[in-house]
Amino acid sequence: MANTQDPQLVLDAKNIEIPADHYTFTERDVILYNLGIGATAQDLQWVYEGDDEFAAIPTFGVIPQFAAMGSASLDWLPNFNPAKLLHGEQFLSIKAPIPTSGELVTTARFLEVLDKGKAAAVTMLTETKDASGKLIFENQSTTFIRGSGGFGGKRVGMDRGAATAANDVPKRAPDAVVEEKTSAGQAALYRLSGDLNPLHILPEFAAIGGFNKPILHGLCFMGIAGKHVLQKFGPYQDIKVRFAGVVYPGETLVTQMWKEGQKVIFTAKVKERDALVLASAAATLVDGEAKAKL
């Protein structure tokens, strides 16, 4: 999406043709993802392909985009260092029922590039379709690349609706709270769904990024929180989060949720450090109806 405020660097990036990616998956991949965000042997609809209600947890929609996004180089940014990259925000819109096997095709493009002074904020748009061409998922993924700012780009992004909503927390007690302890091997398991960034497995790579040990994938603890929303309020058609902090495998995630009309606004904290890790977060319920299991 061209913008007259964009410098040539950004205009050129928005014209980069990123190869489409074909993602072939089976029920095994769905189960692996569900396990990666904390599904257990008691959750048969998520871990047993023979269950009458077998399904992907909705945040599975972030998975098919990885290879397409991985084909999009960021080395056109000044001073680009992959170890300085942090996931900033994620928006997932679920456009159709999620298949549990098949082939999906994802296309990607650079949607917006902001100059934050000491960092760049790069938003990519991916669209994932089935073999018939039906749109299944849309993702907007924003990454912050520390040390890559100062290229003369615009500082403030456009309003993209639910993808950029502030989702301020209501001034009342949450309507639901769920605690879930992650496992020490959570990042090692989750990476098998496709996000192979060594930041989440190699201590020396994590150290370059400024962390004393590998951190849990942001999309993993987004998925855990999204699972909590699903369990308490039922299916949703989109979900958006801002990554406000890091989670180390083995820590306990506490998701607080407030139902506000069609939206469930939520936050997530690490219990052990009382550290906020998901903010400005919300899910839009399907048909605006909460199928609460409180």
Q: Which of 21, 115, 195, 238 is catalytic?
A: 195
Active-site entry in 61, 149, 218, 226: 218
The catalytically annotated residue of 29, 88, 200, 265 is 200
Is there a catalytic annotation at residue 195? yes
217 classed as catalytic: no
Catalytic residue among 136, 215, 239, 265: 215
pLDDT digits (tens, 9 = 90+) for 134-147: 999 999 999 999 99
* Catalytic residue list contains 200: yes
Question: Which residue numbers in the chain have pLDDT < 70?
Answer: 1-4, 288-294
Q: What is the pTM of this model?
A: 0.93
| 215 is known as an active-site residue | yes
Please give the domain boundaries of the chain with CATH numbers for all domains. Answer: 1-148 (3.10.129.10), 165-294 (3.10.129.10)
The DSSP code sequence of the chain is: ---TTS-HHHHHHHT--PPPEEEEE-HHHHHHHHHHTT--TT-HHHH-TTSTT----GGGGGSTTHHHHHTS--TTSTT--GGGEEEEEEEEEE-SPPPSSEEEEEEEEEEEEEE-SSEEEEEEEEEEEETT--EEEEEEEEEEEET---SS--SSPPP-GGGT---PPPSS--SEEEEEEPPTTHHHHHGGGS---GGGT-HHHHHHTT-SS----HHHHHHHHHHHHHHHH--EEEEEEEE-S---TTPEEEEEEEEETTEEEEEEEETTTTEEEEEEEEEEEGGG------
The confidence score (pLDDT) of residue 84 equals: 84
- The per-residue pLDDT for 41 is 97
